[in-house]
Structure formats: structure tokens, C-alpha cells
Amino acid sequence: MSIEVSVSPGHHDYNDWHFPAGQRLDFLPASVPSYANSRRLSKDDQSIPELPLFLAARASVLADPHKVAIIDKSKDKSFTFGQLLNDVAALKAELQQYLAGYDPTVSSYTEEPRIAFLAPAGYDYVVAQWAIWAAGAVSVPLCTSHPLKELQYTISDADPSLILLHPTFKKFEAGLQEQAGAATPIIPLTPLTESSRNFPFLPRFTSSFPLSRRALMIYTSGTTSRPKGCISTHETITFQARSLVEAWKYNRNDHLIHVLPLHHIHGIINGLTATLLAGGTVEMYPKFDAKTVWNRWQQKGSTTMFMAVPTVYSRLVDYFDTNIRGTESESASREGVSALRLIVSGSAALPTPVKRKFAEISGHELLERYGMTEIGMGLSCGLEREKRIDGSVGWALPGVKVRLTEEKSGQVITSSGKDESGMIEIKGPNLFSEYFRRPESTADSFTQDGWFKTGDVAKRAANGAYFILGRDSVDIIKSGGYKISALEVERKILGNEALSPIISEVVVVGVEDEEWGQRVAAVATLKDSAASTGLDLATLRKYLKEDMAAYKVPTILKIVDSIERNAMGKVNKKDILKQYFAPLQ
């Protein structure tokens, strides 16, 4: 079988490209990728804009047509960069049919169409995201662990033109359709099963639309009670990924074990995008599992990188101590992990005991970096051992500007050559562009001179290295690397049908915890009518799991007689923490 191509005038044509002598493959795949096959799209429709990420993928194919981009562990199949580009071109052509004449190259839109998609971490996710980007639409990745109600909130807020639904999540179709309304089609994301390592053609490349087009919208919690859509352009995400590639020297020999969720930048940019941009291979797992990671590490040299949140390292250390230490696989495990090129921790503070234990096992000082949905990565320790400072997240990444300001006055703290602390502010091409349809929140998050106010407090040492001291707001909780709004959890508890007849008042706080960073704790008073039946944690969790992701649901519940308020009627959460959760001396 061969694919016929017609080329529009003025467009570049790479289809008559041949592999270098000796590499041209006689083998033609038994079938073209399933999108191209099943949807009967003409090859004329299938093209890819020259976005930096796609050009990099094309360069990977040109350098090595067999180069694997994605290993999908759920399917147990590998997909080359060549196949990826073809599948993306085919799905993009299909998406365009739904976008009613939208053309990112010729029109100026105040809002690009959003396309939400729900897919497990794996090849289908990557094809969907790249196809959305290729169509010039905004990718809105939905969270695979969200219950229907949270997905419906995201859909109602993102107001997408189209929803792509992987069959794994078919159970949500009716609920999503009800929320989105009949005008928003939900189309099935057909799982791709072809695994042709020798895919011999490239799709047609066309001139890119402006990189200032919006590309990615990630829902993030803040000090308000509802998550906001944080929008970044192609320029931004490309910059964020390139800055990491430069700092951490990702390269085409890299092989990443990817275990993070793909609705946040840690998984999307640091893991997936930067590795593929550099021509490396991403081995994708639908979920983190300590045993699986150790099994892979035991195969020394088969992978080179790992990136995760501190809770994952805590689990890896526990697994090693319980199941590997003292067994015959101990030395293979130690040697395998020590052979990795790069192991990075971030998204939350890395507890020193976890860092020490991991170093003892692996010989690796975890590389710590600091980031945020709105900024990508801002600070990082260096690749060189001497540039890894205990407890520090290092220095500004290439192209990123960082400063400290006085918390109250907002005055910039100039470097005095001594330790100083203040609020971290960031500037640079790494910054997001806006919170979707929330111009006031966007304006509030920047200073008048255009610096983004992160809300994090940090110390800057004499050598310029930064140490994160914590959040300015007690209403933001970080648990397992997830950012959680205490106000959102409070609102959902009080609004829950089964809980509202029981709970009178509730205060949600983050309690320090070595495994999770912080745990979500609820301090509640009960209504008189419920005083005799009471409320236990299991019941609270059962009801709340229908309303919100499991990681937001409190894992600690304290029932108290009363919650103290000041003259203004406000609760002092720092006092609540001291009163009920002070560590035992």
C-alpha cells in the first residue's frame, strides 16, 4: 500500500523525501495508521504546521526513521516519531472538520477554540494533544482521576468546541454531553494499535500559524474556591520545554519513565514535551507504581531519566526498604538506578529524610527544581553535583528572571550578598498569558511592572541560590504534588447533599506530612441534629469522592465543639493548626 499525496502550491512538501541511501525501507506497512484508514480522509487534508515541536519530531525521523517516540505500556507497543506525525496529521484533519472554518493562519481570533480530551496516559493522549495543537486549537487535558462532577465543572468553564473521549472513559459520555450541550460534539478517540517501527512517509508540512496562538489550558487551584484555566501559548510552552532541554541536557538518547498525571505541567512539559522535543523516548505508564519502576530500573541502562513529585520518591524508598533491601535483587536495583543520567524532584518540597534515604540507595542527589502552572519551571539546581545544594531549588533557569519582594510593601529586595527572604516574583517568556475569561484574576496576579506574583515565600542565599520557605496563603495546600484550594474543599463539604444536614461549620487546613508533603485535614462542628450519630472520616470521604478528586478529599477529620473566630468573624487557620495539629514534642 502507498499513500498518495497532493501538494498545495506554496506549501513545503516533504513527502517526496526519501530515507538516505541504504536506509530507504522496502517495507511498507500492512496498513496505514488507523485514523487515516478508518476515517477515509483524503491525504490532501492531512498536513502538519511547522510548529517547533513538530519540526523537532520531523528531524528525529530524518535522523533515524526507526526512532521510537512513545512506548505505551498499557498497550505494550512502541510508536515511532514517523508514525506519531502521521497519526497526528490524520486526527488533526478530522478535528478541523468540526472547527467550522477556523483557520489559525489567516484569522485573528480573540479566543481560539478549545478542545477538551480525556485519555489515559499513553500514545492516544499524545496523538490527541499534538493533533489539537496542529489544528491551532487550545488543548484542555482532563484529569483521569476526576469524578463526573469535577469533569463537568471543567467542561462548563472551558466551554470547548469539541470533546475527545477515549473509550476507557465511555461511562462519562452521557454526563459530559449533558453538561456540554448538544452543540458540542463528543467524538470517540479511537485507540491506535498500529505499531509500525518502519513507517516510511512523513505527512505534508505547512507554514506555521503564529506561535502567539494559545495552546494549552490547565486547570489550577488558587486562593479562590474554583479552579481557573491557566492559558499558555505555543511560544510559552516551547520556551518552557527548551529552557529545560538546555539546562538538563535532554537528548535523543534519553529514555524517560513517565508516571505522572497528564493534566499538569510537570507531566506535560517537563516529562512529555521536553523529552520529545529533544528526540528522546517516553515510556508511558497510566499510573505510578513503585514495584514497576524498580523492576524497570533493575534493567540497567534501559532508561536514563526519571521525574516525579516527592511523594513518589517516598514510596520508592519505602518499597525498596520493604521489598528489595536484603534480597537478591538489591544490587541490581542499586546499580540500575545509579546508572540513570538524571533524576528530578519537584512540585512540592522534598523532605530531607526522603532525599537522604534515596541518596543512600541510589547514589543520586535528587535534582530539585521549582515551578508552577503559570510559570513552567523557574528555578533549578544544576546538573553538576556541586550545583545541588541541600534544601535549595537552585538558580533561575535560562531566560527566566526571578526577584524577591517585601511581602507587605511589594518593594524589590536587592541582592545584598547576605541571606534575604521575600515573595518570589517571576518574569520571562515562560509566563502564562491569562486565566481563561478572568481578566481581573489575571491582572491581580501581576505587579504593575509585569512580574508574576507566585505567592511563594523564599530565601535567597549569598550565592544567589533560592530556598522555598512555603506559601504565603494557608488556603493553598500541596498534597502528593497536587495543589488544592482549602476554600474549594470547604465549599464542597458544605454544599454536599449528604453532609450539609450533618456539618455545621468546617475549616480545611494542610497538615505537614512526610509522605504527602501536606495532608488535607477538616476541622468541623456538627449540627445539633447530628450530634448523636456523629460523623466519621470514612463517611465523609465516601460522600466527597463523588464531588471531587480523591486527592482533594480530607484524610484527617477532627470533630470539635466550636471553631474560634475573631471579632471580624474570621478563623485564624494558623491557630487551628497549632491547636489541633501541633507536632508532639
Contact residue for ligand MLC among 142, 340, 372, 389 (CB under 6 A): 372
Q: Choosing among ligand AMP, ligand MLC, none, which partner's interface includes residue 468 (Cβ < 5 to 8 Å by kind)?
A: ligand AMP
Contact residue for ligand MLC among 46, 96, 298, 479 (CB under 6 A): 479
Q: In the complex with ligand MLC, which residue's Cβ is closer, 144 or 196?
A: 144
Contact residue for ligand MLC among 121, 151, 244, 309 (CB under 6 A): 309
In angstroms, give the least distance from the CB of 225 to ligand MLC.
19
Q: In the complex with ligand MLC, which residue's Cβ is closer, 257 or 372?
A: 372
Task: Report the alpha-carbon distance of residue 251 to residue 482 in Å, rounded.
Answer: 28
Q: Choosing among ligand MLC, ligand AMP, none, which partner's interface includes residue 539 (Cβ < 5 to 8 Å by kind)?
A: none
In angstroms, give the least distance from the CB of 266 to ligand AMP.
8
Q: What are the strands of the beta sheet with 367-372, ordered from one edge?
A: 77-80, 68-72, 281-284, 255-258, 305-308, 342-345, 367-372, 376-380, 395-396
* Contact window for ligand MLC (CB under 6 A) among 37-45, 73-81, 550-558, 577-585: 550-558
* Contact window for ligand MLC (CB under 6 A) among 47-55, 195-203, 326-334, 370-378: 370-378
Q: In the complex with ligand MLC, which residue's Cβ is closer, 33 or 261?
A: 261
Q: Choosing among ligand AMP, ligand MLC, none, which partner's interface includes residue 247 (Cβ < 5 to 8 Å by kind)?
A: none
Q: In the complex with ligand MLC, which residue's Cβ is closer, 61 or 366?
A: 366
In angstroms, give the least distance from the CB of 457 to ligand AMP.
9
CA-to-CA separations, 470 to 23, 426, 574, in angstroms, rounded:
54, 16, 13
Q: Is 551 in the site for ligand MLC (CB under 6 A)?
A: yes
CA-to-CA separations, 297 to 110, 186, 293, 306, 370, in angstroms, rounded:
47, 39, 6, 10, 25
Q: Choosing among ligand MLC, ligand AMP, none, which partner's interface includes residue 550 (Cβ < 5 to 8 Å by kind)?
A: ligand MLC
Closest to 151 in 3D by CA, of 478, 547, 541: 547
Q: In the complex with ligand AMP, which residue's Cβ is closer, 130 or 313?
A: 313
Size of the site for ligand MLC (CB under 6 A): 25
Residues β-bridged to residue 509? 521
Q: Is 543 in the site for ligand MLC (CB under 6 A)?
A: no
* Contact window for ligand MLC (CB under 6 A) among 152-160, 322-330, 476-484, 568-576: 476-484
Residue 31 DSSP label: S
Q: How far is CA 502 from the centre of its chain?
A: 36
Burial 423-442 (b: 16+ CB within 10 A, else e): bbbbbbebbbbbbbebeeeb
- Residues engaged in binding ligand AMP (CB under 6 A): 220, 346-349, 368-373, 393, 454, 456, 468, 471, 478, 483
Closest to 480 in 3D by CA, of 318, 299, 352, 288: 288
In angstroms, give the least distance from the CB of 308 to ligand AMP.
12
* Contact window for ligand MLC (CB under 6 A) among 13-21, 99-107, 258-266, 337-345: 258-266
Closest to 378 in 3D by CA, of 408, 403, 342: 403
* Contact window for ligand MLC (CB under 6 A) among 35-43, 260-268, 324-332, 567-575: 260-268
Closest to 393 in 3D by CA, of 407, 404, 405, 378: 378
In angstroms, give the least distance from the CB of 4 to ligand AMP.
46
Q: In the complex with ligand AMP, which residue's Cβ is closer, 245 or 476?
A: 476
Task: Report the alpha-carbon distance of residue 86 to residue 307 in Å, rounded.
Answer: 28
CA-to-CA separations, 192 to 93, 98, 262, 571, in angstroms, rounded:
16, 21, 18, 52
Q: Is 554 in the site for ligand MLC (CB under 6 A)?
A: no
Q: Is 371 in the site for ligand MLC (CB under 6 A)?
A: yes
Pair type for strands 281-284 and 228-233: unpaired
Q: In the complex with ligand MLC, which residue's Cβ is closer, 184 or 518?
A: 518
Count CA atoms closer than 13 A to 218's CA, side-chain side. 26
Task: Report the alpha-carbon distance of residue 144 to residue 138 in Å, rounded.
Answer: 19
Task: Report the alpha-carbon distance of residue 130 to residue 141 in Å, rounded.
Answer: 12
Q: Which helix (H) or strand (E) holds 389?
A: none
Q: Could you give the angle at the alpha carbon of 99 between the alpha carbons of 96 and 101, nearest 5°? A: 90
Q: Is 260 in the site for ligand MLC (CB under 6 A)?
A: yes
Q: In the complex with ligand MLC, which residue's Cβ is closer, 137 or 511?
A: 511
Q: Choosing among ligand MLC, ligand AMP, none, which partner's interface includes residue 311 (Cβ < 5 to 8 Å by kind)?
A: ligand MLC
In angstroms, give the least distance from the CB of 142 to ligand AMP.
16
